[in-house]
Chains A and B, each alone.
Chain A
Amino acid sequence: MASSVLADSRWIARGAERTSLPQFLLWLAPWAVVLAAGVYAAGLCLFYGLNQTNMDNRFAFGLWIFLDLGMIALGAGAFFTGFLVYILKRVELKPILNSAVVVGFICYSGAIAILMIDVGQPLRAWFTFWHPNTHSMLTEVTFCISCYLLVLSLEYLPILLRNRQLRKLPSFLVFEHQLHNLVPVLAGVGALLSFFHQGSLGGLYGVLRGRPFAFREGFFIWPSTFFLFILSAIASGPSFLILVTAAVEKVTGRRLVPQELFRRLGFISGVLLAIYVAAKSIDTLIWLNVTSPSVGFAPWQYYIYKPFGTPILFTEIVLLGLLPAFLLTYPRSASRRRWLLTAAALACAGVLLNRFVLTVQTLALPTLAFDEFLQYTPSWQEAASFGGVIAYGVIVYSLSYRYLPLFAQPKGQNTHVPGN
């Protein structure tokens, strides 16, 4: 009897078609190898210290900070979809909500795991809560990310408890029901926390008076990058959800959500991206003409080092900003799946490039007149940890897809297919 309960098919939702267990394990195997390599590399960094990385006193932040900022931006689809569904009542987006929560959970838990390796004294992480410097953007980021991961875990829990076997336990069923009632509240709290930490991640660099490439004036205590990060995150988050869902559809060979939902998400992403591009352009002009010269740095100084010339600015704003914004909102391109996916990929690449420029280019550029332009190549330990987080994400999502109902149908539109 016990063996039959443990049988894989008993954990898959009734009526849902999934690949055989051996085939599923074969899919997971390479990712498990990458994850194991990542865990080993992370272990080396924790045991022997950050001398295992290629970071140094001048390049004090590296690949991991880029990964953190990138993942948190792309994971914004979770809170933003929740905000749209529960606060703005855009119920047509509900079919993708569970998937968005899992993507968000993966992005945030992965980012926090990397952050714990990235600090020199991980066991002192609690100091930030005990001795918080309320003027530091990093304090706000730490508080909000920790709280939001808790919110995401609470949002993930009801999805987890909807598993076919777990539902058989009455106490779990009641708990899941209670949690489910709480989800709209969690969505509101999550949106509030996310607005702040997405912004604070932008503020992290925007407040650096000593780094005129990143320093921005702003509103009250927040530099302009605070608002730009929020905008770019909520613009790229839906695009990333489109990409993830399309990738799952490709791998599983099944249509999971209606094409209309893709188009709707794409339109939201495109409009927000257009607003972001406009704001970013204005901000760049103010920075080039006012902010940077006022602290003694001529704008041309930033762009004389190859490959960080002006093409990178053009790529970020036009090729990976304006172009996808147009493709996502123009009805003819948005109605074609291939164009829609291309535009979503460009939008995601744009936000990643923005995070790369702000984290890596800022540190590479000289500040003193006799400084040199710096180069940095991540060590294999940094790259392997990076890969480990990606593998962790794929494994968690694959398991969630197999055993949990990630793509529910909206009410009244179709009959509920548990665990499709």
Chain B
Amino acid sequence: MSARYGMVIDLDRCTGCGACMMACAAENNVPPVPRATPRTGLTPMLVRKVSNGGEGVDRREVFIPIMCMHCERETPCVGVCPQQAVEVDKATGIVMQMPQRCLGCRYCMTACPYHARYFNWWDPQWPAGMEKALNPGVAVRMRGVVEKCNLCHARLHSATQKAAATGKREINPADYVPACVEACPTAAIRFGNLADKHDPLSLEVRSPDTFRFLTRLGTEPKVYYKSKEAWVRALAESNSGSGVETKRG
């Protein structure tokens, strides 16, 4: 049975600690880029700090982790790639990026409304000794190609292999948890299979407090957000919120 992996990120729980960003970088061999600016760094998971624009007691702030939304319909980045380096995996619903085939034209980056795609502006380099901590299950990307969140696909691969070794076709859900979900100290990021009606995530996305960004574009993102704050939920659509980004990363 095909899966539809997705997430719910509870913004009321997010403290902006950045553990998800660090876990993502460590899991996916994202190199440190000392010369990067906030707009040239590699951050497949990026925590953005947004305020309601108020002052004093009226001021409210929220941390919003932004990542690839794994759009399900009319996926903006898939149709534009000239050499099929981006595809939606029908078995999992994960939007996959193949850096080995990427030309580095960055057309997919202009197509993404969530700005969740990143270009390798520099050669990947690690401080001496740090290369020993690289994850052997994830290929390092070279300079000049685009990358993004793939829901820790290497972990899915390991889970599939583990299931196959025991003669099973389906993976054990406990064996496949993305690094950011695992690292979040407040359990603000929840992960699951939206195609499974019994998955807690499928129930959670029906909550009136959940929302997705830019749903009117019709791309059906599979990353949901959750908040009891009305002004936070109002950020969902472009012209309905009045959020101001105050800090990122």
**Residues of A participating in the B interface, judged by any CB pair closer than 8 Å:** 49-51, 55-61, 118-121, 124-125, 127-128, 130-133, 135-139, 142, 204, 207-212, 294-298, 301, 362-363, 366-372
Docked complex Cα distance between A186 and B218 (Å): 43
Q: At the interface, yes or no: B117 with Cβ under 8 Å from chain A?
A: yes
Residues of B near A58 (CB, < 8 A) are: 39, 115
The listed residue (B82, B214, B242) touching A136 by CB distance below 8 A is B82
List A contacts of B64 (CB < 8 A): 370
- The interface centre, meaning the residue of A128, A130, A209 with most chain B CB atoms within 10 A of its CB, is A209
**B114 pairs with A368, CB closer than 8 A:** yes
Distance between Cα atoms of A265 and B62 in the complex (Å): 60
The answer to whether A120 touches B115 (Cβ under 8 A) is no
- Please tell me if B106 contacts chain A, counting CB pairs below 8 Å: yes
Q: How far apart are A130's CB and chain B's nearest CB, in angstroms? A: 8
The distance from the CB of B118 to the nearest CB of chain A, in whole angstroms, is: 5
Interface string of B100-125 (1 = CB under 8 A from A): 01111111011111110111111100
B81 lies within 8 A of A133 (CB): yes
Q: Within the assembled complex, what's the spacing in Å between the Cα atoms of A203 and B179?
A: 38
For the residues of B in contact with A, the DSSP-based class is loop
Q: Does B150 contact A (CB under 8 A)?
A: no
Number of B interface residues at 8 Å Cβ cutoff, please give it: 62
Asked if residues B111 and A211 are in contact (CB atoms below 8 Å), the reply is yes
* Residue pair B110, A208 in contact (C-beta under 8 Å): yes
User: Which of B82, B113, B121 touches A50 (beta carbons < 8 Å)?
Assistant: B121
Contact of B50 among A119, A138, A370 (CB under 8 A): A370
Query: What is the CA–CA distance of A204 and B111 in the complex, to the nearest angstrom?
Result: 10
List B206-248 residues whose CB lies under 8 Å from chain A: 213-219, 234-245
**B40 touching A51 by the CB < 8 A rule?**
yes
A207–B110 touching, CB < 8 Å: no
Kindly state the separation between the CA atoms of A25 and B102 in the bound complex, as whole angstroms. 43
Partner of B144, one of A120, A367, A371: A120
| Closest-CB distance, A63 to chain B (whole angstroms) | 14
B14 in the interface (beta carbon within 8 A): no
Chain A residues with Cβ under 8 A from B80's Cβ?
136-138, 207-208
A49–B122 touching, CB < 8 Å: yes
CA distance A133 to B240 in the complex (A): 36
* Interchain CA distance A184-B183 in the complex, whole Å: 67
Q: If A120-B120, A120-B143, A133-B83 touch, does A208 touch B237 (CB 8 Å cutoff)?
A: no
B158 on the A face (CB < 8 A): no
> How far is the CB of B21 from the nearest CB of chain A, in Å?
15
Q: Top 3 A-B pairs ranked by shortest CB distance? A: A120-B104, A120-B144, A210-B113
Q: Is the CB of A131 within 8 A of B83?
A: yes
- Beta-carbon contact of B105 and A370 below 8 Å: no
CB atoms of A131 and B40 under 8 A apart: no
C-beta contact mask, B46-65 vs A, less than 8 Å → 1, else 0? 00101000000000000010
Taking a contact as CB atoms under 8 Å apart, the answer to whether B106 and A60 are in contact is yes
Q: Which residues of B from 137 to 152 have beta carbons under 8 Å from A?
A: 142-146
B35 (CB) vs chain A CBs: closest residue: A51
Query: Within the assembled complex, what's the spacing in Å between the Cα atoms of A120 and B242?
Result: 36
Distance to closest chain B CB from A301 (angstroms): 6
Beyond A57-B39, A133-B83, A297-B239, whether A371 also contacts B245 by CB under 8 A is yes
Chain A residues within 8 Å of B101, by CB:
124, 127, 131
Closest to A362 in B: B110
Q: Which residue of A lies closest to B215 (CB)?
A: A296
Report chain B residues within 8 Å CB of A368. Answer: 113-115, 213-214, 235, 238
CB-CB < 8 A to B123: which residues of A?
A: 49
**Additional A-B contact list (7), CB under 8 Å, known A138-B107, A296-B215:** A51-B35, A119-B104, A209-B74, A296-B240, A297-B238, A301-B239, A371-B115
Let me know if B185 is at the binding interface, CB within 8 A. Answer: no
Inside 8 A of B215's CB, which chain A residues have their CB?
296
**Residue in B105, B146, B216, B243 whose beta carbon sits within 8 Å of that of A369 in the complex:** B243
A294 CA / B239 CA spacing, docked (Å): 12
B142 contacts across to A, CB distance below 8 A: 121
Contact B102 A121 (CB under 8 A): yes
**Residues in A whose Cβ lies below 8 Å from that of B41:** 57
